[in-house]
Structure 1
Amino acid sequence: MKSFMPLTRKIQVALFAAVVVLAATGCKGFLDTNRQGAYTEDNYPYPGGSGPYDQFIFGAYNELRSFNLHSQSFITATSIRSDDADKGSTPTDGGTNAITMDNFPVAASNGFCNTLWLGNYTLITRCNSTIKEINTNTSIIASNEVKQQTLGEARFLRAYAYFNLVRFFGRVPLIDTLFSDPAAQNNVAQSTAAQIYAFIENDLTFAASVLPLSWDSRFVGRATKGAANGLLAKVYLTQQKWASAMAAANSVMISGQYDLSTPYDRIFREEGENSKESVFEVQATATAAIPSNNGVQYAQIQGIRGAGIWDLGWGWNTPSDQLVAAYEPNDPRKARTILFTSTSTTPGLTIYGETTPVGLPNPRYNNKVYSNPSLRTSIGNRFGYWMNVRLLRYADVVLMYAEAANEVGGAANTTAALAALNSVRARARQGAPAGTLPDVTTTDQALLREAIRKERRVELAMEHDRFFDLVRWGIAQDVLQAAGKTNFSNSRDVLLPIPQTQIDLSAGKLTQNPGY
C-alpha cells in the first residue's frame, strides 16, 4: 500500500484504499464487470491473498484511521492520563474534557469518553457486518480457507476494539451480531469484565489459528498470526495469566517473522513503517492531491504548536519531567522519544537537523511522531497524516515474554526472561558510548520485575501502554500522585466513566462505574 524512494516518499493510495472506496460507493468500477455482483474464486480479481470479502473487511480496516478511534481521545486516554505525558499546548486548550483527563477526575459528561465508546463500537459493527456477509451472503462463492481467513481478520479487529473498551470502561455491552433495528443496540446490558476478556480470548485464539504468517506486499498492514498472538499475549498479561502470556508471546518470537534488527532511530520514521519490528500498525497514506482523507490525525495532534513552518500540530501529549528522568545515562532512546525545543541558550535540534525556534509553548514534544520535512513540502501538508500508528511492536512482545517468564519463575524461566530483556537493551544501546545500558544480571525475581518494568517504560514511552501498565501492576495511584496527578484515586480512576450520553440512550439499561 506504500512505496518509498530514498529521501522522497511517494505515498500512494493503493488497493487497500481503493476497495474501501468501492465498498462505500456500492462497488462501482471494475467490480461491475462481473455478472450481477456474484463472484467466484475464478472470476473475482483478487491477487496475492486478497479475496471476495475484502470489500467488507476493508471497511473495518479503514475505521482504524478514524478520528474517533486513534486520534484526540485515544491519545488523551492512553498517554496523557499517564505519568509519561502532560496535555501540553496552552493551559486552556481542549477545555474541561482534556484538562480533567490529564488531572482527574473525568466526568461522565466528558466528550472524549463518548468518542472512545463510539469509535470502538463503530469498529465492532464493521467487523460484525463482515462476519454476517461471510456467513450469510450466498451470492459470493469462496473457499473455506478464504472465508476462515477473513473471519480471522474480522475477529482480530473486533477483539482489539473490545480490549480497548474493557480497559477503558470495564463493564461494557457485548455485541457480536447486527440488529435489524440499530437502535436496539442501545438496550444491550453490560457484561462483566471477565466475560469481555473471555470473548476477546476466544476471538484472538480463533484468529491466530486461521490468519497467515504474512501477506503479499500489496496487502501490508493486514492482521497476521503474529498480530493475533501478540495481542493475545497482552490480553493474558493484563489478567496476570502469566503462563498463557508467555506461550502466546513465544509463538510470535519463534515465528521467524520479526526481529530487533531495525534501529530504534529508524522505527518511527516514515521509512521504518512495516519493518521487522512491526507486528501491527494502522496504515495511513497521503498525496498532494489527497493530503488527509486516507490518513490519520494522530501525528497532527502531537505535532509542534508553533507558527509558520513550525505550525505542525496541536502540541498535545508532551513528554513529562518524570519521563525525562526515567532514562539511564546516554540511552539513545531518550533523544529519539523526546524533542527538546530551543531555549535562549540551548538549541533544540530535530532528527533532521533543524533548529527549533525559541519561545515554543512547550519545552518538549513527542519526537516519535515528527514527520519528514521533505514530505511536508512534496505533499503540501505539514500535519503528518501519512504517518502510521504503531499499535504493537516486536519489542513490546519480547518484553511481555520477559515479564511473564519472570512471574512464572524457576531458573530456566529467569534465564529466558533475562535473555529477552537484554536483547531489547542491546538494540537500544547501538551507537552509544561503551558501558551504556549494560546487561541486567540479577536473578532476584523482585529486582528483575522492576528492571523489566523500567525497560517497558523507556522502550515504549509515548506509545499507549504506560497507563494500562500502571493499572495492571497495581501501582497507578502511588505513581500518578507522585507525578503531581494528586486527584487520581484507585477506587475510581483506573476506569473511565460510562458516557452519560450512552446511559441516557439506553434508558438506564447501562449503569455507571463506581465513584462517578
Structure 2
Amino acid sequence: MKRKMILYIIVGFTIISCNDLDLNPLSEGSSENWYSNESEIEMAVANLFNIVYWDADLTRLSGLDPSAQNQPYQWTDKFTDDWTARATLDYITSATITSQTSYVIGTWDYAYECIAAANRILVNLDRAKSKVTDDKINEFAANARFVRASQYAKLIFLYGDVPYYTNIMDVDEAFSLSRTAKETILDSIYIDYDYAIQYLPKSYANNEYKFATKGAALAMKSRIALYMKDYKIARDASEACMNLGIYELYPDYQKLFLSSTKNSIETVFANPRSVELGLMIHKGNRPKEPLPRNAGGFGNGGPSWDLFCSYLCTDGLPIDESPLFNPQEPFKNRDPRCAASITEFGTEWLGYIYQPHPDSVTVLKISTGAYVQNQDTRSVQQYCSYNALVWKKKIDEDWLDLETDPDNIVIRYADVLLIYAEAKIELGEIDQSVLDAINKVRARAYKADFEETSLYPAVTTTNQSELRKILRVERRMEFAWEGRRYADIIRWKLAEKVLNLPIYGILDAAELKEKVVDKGLWFFPETPSIDEDGVPDFSSLYNKGLVKFLVQRKFDQTKQYLWPIPSTEIEINPNIVQNPNY
C-alpha cells in the first residue's frame, strides 16, 4: 500500500551555528521578521524534519563530505556485533571513542541545532496568532515539541545528563548552562510528547506525508520509555499507538525497505527521499560498500557471522538445537528474514549468481547468459567479503546507478508491537496480547496470518525468562541493518559481552580449499554453539584452524555505556562536567 507524499523543499534556509550548542542560529531568516504568518511557520517546522537531524551518517558528521546527507545505512549498526568490515573496527568497537570523535561531536551538534530551531518556533508562535487559527498554532507547536522531545531523547540515551533548555539563549546564558539530570529531562520529554499526542492529527489530508502524527508521538514516546526502562509508560504508549487502528505490518518484509515502497502502511514516522528532487542516497563511493564486487561494489561492510547465526530455523529453534540446520547449507530451513537480509549463496543477485565458494572462479551473468570471472570469491579477488556474506536488505537494482530514494524509516509498526511485548514481559504482565504481538511480527516474515500457527513457528510459552530471550532474538532478526542493535545491546548491558568477542572470517583461499572445501565442510565446518543470550561461539572452529581470526573487538564497560561529552563543550563551558573515565 502506498500513500501520497509531499516533500517540502526549503528554499533559502541556511543553517548558521553561533556556538557549539547552536543556541540561537539563524535558520529561518531574520528573527525580527519571521514567524509572522502560516507559510513562514510551516517552512520553519519543515526544517525540523530535515533528514540530517534524523539519519545523520558518519561521513557527514565527520565534516569530510558536507554534501553526503543521505547515506544508505543506519550508522549505528557499525557500532555492533551485527557488522563486519574486513579487519577494521569503529571507534566504539575498538574502545577508542573519545570526546573528540567526529560523530560524538556531530551527533551532539545536530541534535542541539534542531532543538534550537524547535525552541525558536515555540517562543515565536504568538506572533502569528492574529493570522493563524488556534488549531493550526497548536499543530505547529505539537510538531516542534515532538521534534524537541525526540532530539532530547537521543541525547539522554547516548550521553546521559545533558544541558536542557526550552527558550532562546544568548552566548552568556549558554556559558552558564550545566548538565540536567536525564531523569528530569525524561519527564519533560514525556510532557512534550503528550502535548504532541493531544494536538497532532492521526493523518494528513489525502494521506499526504507532512510532519509528525499522533501515532508517531506515541511510538517515539514508547521507544524512549522502553530504552529508559520506564516499562509502564512504554506499555501504555505503544498500546495506544496500536489502538489507533491506523498501522499494519506490510505483507512483504523484503520489499518494505525498497525505494519502490513509499510511506507504507507500516511506517509510523519516516523522512522521505526523492531522486527527482535530489534527495537520495549519495552518489559517492559509500553506497558501493555493501554491494558485491560482481555488481560493481566493494564487498566490504556487511553482515557478521554473529548476525547470520542468530536467525532461527523454521522450527523456531536456534541453529545449535534445531535438527533442520545443516552447516554446509546454512541458508536452508532458516527464518525467511535471513535470506531477505543476507544474500543466499547460489542465488541471483544484482545481475549475477552470488557464489563465494572458492571453486566458483567464474559465475553466471544473468543479462548475457555468459560466465564471467567471479569477483566475489576470495580465490579470485582477495578483497571481496572476508566472511563471504553480503547485504541484501534495503538493496535493489536502483543501487547499481547509485540513485535510489527509499524512505528513511525512523520507527515502524513492527517496532511498536515489539516494544509493547517487551514492556509487558518486563512488567511480568504476560498474556495473550504479548504472544500476539510477537507472533504478528514473526508470521509476517513467513507471509502467514499470525492465527495460522501451523504456517510458522508461533511463540506459545508464557515463561518470562524464555520470552525475554525470544523477544531479544526476534528484535535482532527483524531490525538487522536498521540501527536498532546498538541501542539494544547498550540497554540490555550486552555490549560488554558481544563487543569483546573476536571477529572471524573464512580462511585464505589455498588454506580454505585444503582444510574446508576438499573435506566437504563448506560453508561452516561445524555448527557453532549459541549461548543463552543468542551469541554464537566460533572458538572451537578457530582452535581447529577452520576459520580465520580477523580482529578483536573491544568495549570498555567502565565508560562506554555512555558517550563522552564533546570536547568542544567542555572547553567553552566550565560548568559542563565530563562523563566518568573519559
**TM-score between the two structures when normalised by the length of structure 2:** 0.71
Unaligned residue ranges in structure 2 (runs of 5+):
16-32, 62-70, 314-333, 345-353, 504-551
Q: Is the CA contact 1:187–1:509 (under 8 Å) kept in the aligned structure 2?
A: yes
Instruction: From the two aligned structures, give the one with the greater helix fraction.
Output: 1
Deviation sequence 1:263-322 (CA, Å, 0-9, x none): 1012101122210110111221122xx54xx3454997454367999456x877521110
Pairing partner for 2:272 from 283, 306, 311: 283
Tell me which residue corresponds to 1:55.
43
Residue aligned with 1:53, SS: helix
Q: Is the CA contact 1:498–1:513 (under 8 Å) kept in the aligned structure 2?
A: yes
Tell me which residue corresponds to 1:156.
146
Tell me which residue corresponds to 1:104.
95
Q: 2: distance between equivalents of 1:223 and 1:469?
A: 25
Q: Is the CA contact 1:237–1:404 (under 8 Å) kept in the aligned structure 2?
A: yes
Q: Percent identity at matched positions?
A: 25
Q: 2: distance between equivalents of 1:229 and 1:298?
A: 35
Residue aligned with 1:490, SS: coil
- 1:154 Cα deviation from its structure 2 partner: 0.9
Q: Is the CA contact 1:85–1:320 (under 8 Å) kept in the aligned structure 2?
A: yes
- 1:17 Cα deviation from its structure 2 partner: 2.8
Q: 1: distance between equivalents of 2:397 and 2:292?
A: 18
Q: Is the CA contact 2:93–2:554 (under 8 Å) kept in the aligned structure 1?
A: no
Pairing partner for 1:257 from 246, 250, 264: 246
Please list, as runs of the form range in 1=range in 2, the aligned pairs for 1:73-222 lying within 5 A after superposition. Answer: 78-86=76-84, 88=85, 99-135=90-126, 137-138=127-128, 141-181=131-171, 184-217=173-206, 219-222=208-211
Q: Is the CA contact 2:6–2:210 (under 8 Å) kept in the aligned structure 1?
A: no
- 1:336 Cα deviation from its structure 2 partner: 1.9
In the alignment, is residue 361 of structure 1 matched against residue 375 of structure 2?
A: no
Pairing partner for 1:333 from 330, 333, 337: 337
- 1:228 Cα deviation from its structure 2 partner: 0.4
Q: 2: distance between equivalents of 1:211 and 1:492?
A: 39
Count of residue correspondences:
462
Residue aligned with 1:122, SS: helix
Tell me which residue corresponds to 1:429.
446
Q: Is the CA contact 2:152–2:189 (under 8 Å) kept in the aligned structure 1?
A: yes
Residue aligned with 2:411, SS: strand
Pairing partner for 1:459 from 478, 481, 485: 478
- 1:439 Cα deviation from its structure 2 partner: 0.3
- 1:118 Cα deviation from its structure 2 partner: 1.1
Residue aligned with 1:108, SS: coil
Tell me which residue corresponds to 2:306.
322
In the alignment, is residue 400 of structure 1 matched against residue 419 of structure 2?
A: yes
Q: Is the CA contact 2:79–2:93 (under 8 Å) kept in the aligned structure 1?
A: yes
- 1:431 Cα deviation from its structure 2 partner: 7.5
In structure 2, the CA distance between the partners of 1:176 and 1:149, relative to structure 1 (3 Å rule), is same
In the alignment, is residue 416 of structure 1 matched against residue 436 of structure 2?
A: no
- 1:357 Cα deviation from its structure 2 partner: 4.2
Q: In the alignment, residue 109 of structure 2 is paired with which amino acid?
A: L
Q: 2: distance between equivalents of 1:351 and 1:257?
A: 41
Range with bigger deviation, 184-193 or 416-425: 184-193
Q: In the alignment, residue 78 of structure 1 is paired with which amino acid?
A: T
Q: Is the CA contact 2:290–2:391 (under 8 Å) kept in the aligned structure 1?
A: no
- 1:212 Cα deviation from its structure 2 partner: 0.6
Q: In the alignment, residue 558 of structure 2 is paired with which amino acid?
A: S
Q: 1: distance between equivalents of 2:137 and 2:393?
A: 37
Unaligned residue ranges in structure 1 (runs of 5+):
5-13, 26-35, 45-50, 93-97
Q: Is the CA contact 2:260–2:406 (under 8 Å) kept in the aligned structure 1?
A: no
- 1:138 Cα deviation from its structure 2 partner: 4.1
Q: 2: distance between equivalents of 1:303 and 1:192?
A: 42
Q: In the alignment, residue 243 of structure 2 is paired with which amino acid?
A: I
In structure 2, the CA distance between the partners of 1:189 and 1:38, relative to structure 1 (3 Å rule), is closer
Q: Is the CA contact 2:255–2:261 (under 8 Å) kept in the aligned structure 1?
A: yes
Q: 2: distance between equivalents of 1:394 and 1:241?
A: 20
Q: In the alignment, residue 304 of structure 2 is paired with which amino acid?
A: S
- 1:38 Cα deviation from its structure 2 partner: 9.3
Q: Rg bigger for which structure?
A: 2
Residue aligned with 1:396, SS: helix
Tell me which residue corresponds to 1:10.
none
Q: 1: distance between equivalents of 2:435 and 2:186?
A: 29
Q: 1: distance between equivalents of 2:263 and 2:302?
A: 25
Q: 2: distance between equivalents of 1:348 and 1:216?
A: 51
Residue aligned with 1:131, SS: helix
Q: 2: distance between equivalents of 1:389 and 1:446?
A: 34
Q: Is the CA contact 1:299–1:369 (under 8 Å) kept in the aligned structure 2?
A: no
Q: 1: distance between equivalents of 2:120 and 2:185?
A: 20
Q: Is the CA contact 2:375–2:384 (under 8 Å) kept in the aligned structure 1?
A: no
Q: Is the CA contact 1:221–1:283 (under 8 Å) kept in the aligned structure 2?
A: no
Q: 2: distance between equivalents of 1:511 and 1:350?
A: 58
Tell me which residue corresponds to 1:304.
289
In structure 2, the CA distance between the partners of 1:297 and 1:353, relative to structure 1 (3 Å rule), is farther
Q: In the alignment, residue 384 of structure 2 is paired with which amino acid?
A: P
Q: Is the CA contact 2:443–2:456 (under 8 Å) kept in the aligned structure 1?
A: yes
- 1:407 Cα deviation from its structure 2 partner: 2.1
Q: 1: distance between equivalents of 2:565 and 2:396?
A: 35
Q: Is the CA contact 1:426–1:437 (under 8 Å) kept in the aligned structure 2?
A: yes
Q: 2: distance between equivalents of 1:17 and 1:514?
A: 42
- 1:327 Cα deviation from its structure 2 partner: 0.4
Tell me which residue corresponds to 2:562.
495
Q: In the alignment, residue 416 of structure 1 is paired with which amino acid?
A: S
Residue aligned with 1:361, SS: coil
- 1:408 Cα deviation from its structure 2 partner: 2.2
Q: 1: distance between equivalents of 2:366 and 2:255?
A: 10
**TM-score between the two structures when normalised by the length of structure 1:** 0.79
Q: In the alignment, residue 333 of structure 1 is paired with which amino acid?
A: R
Residue aligned with 2:410, SS: strand
Q: Is the CA contact 1:304–1:311 (under 8 Å) kept in the aligned structure 2?
A: no
Q: 1: distance between equivalents of 2:3 and 2:420?
A: 33
Q: Is the CA contact 1:113–1:498 (under 8 Å) kept in the aligned structure 2?
A: yes
In structure 2, the CA distance between the partners of 1:217 and 1:193, relative to structure 1 (3 Å rule), is same
Tell me which residue corresponds to 2:581.
515
Range with bigger deviation, 329-338 or 477-486: 477-486
Q: Is the CA contact 2:448–2:455 (under 8 Å) kept in the aligned structure 1?
A: no
Tell me which residue corresponds to 1:273.
262
In structure 2, the CA distance between the partners of 1:65 and 1:179, relative to structure 1 (3 Å rule), is closer
Deviation sequence 1:162-209 (CA, Å, 0-9, x none): 11111111121112222244x753542111121221221111111111
CA RMSD of aligned residues (A): 3.7
Q: 2: distance between equivalents of 1:474 and 1:134?
A: 42
Q: Is the CA contact 2:291–2:391 (under 8 Å) kept in the aligned structure 1?
A: no
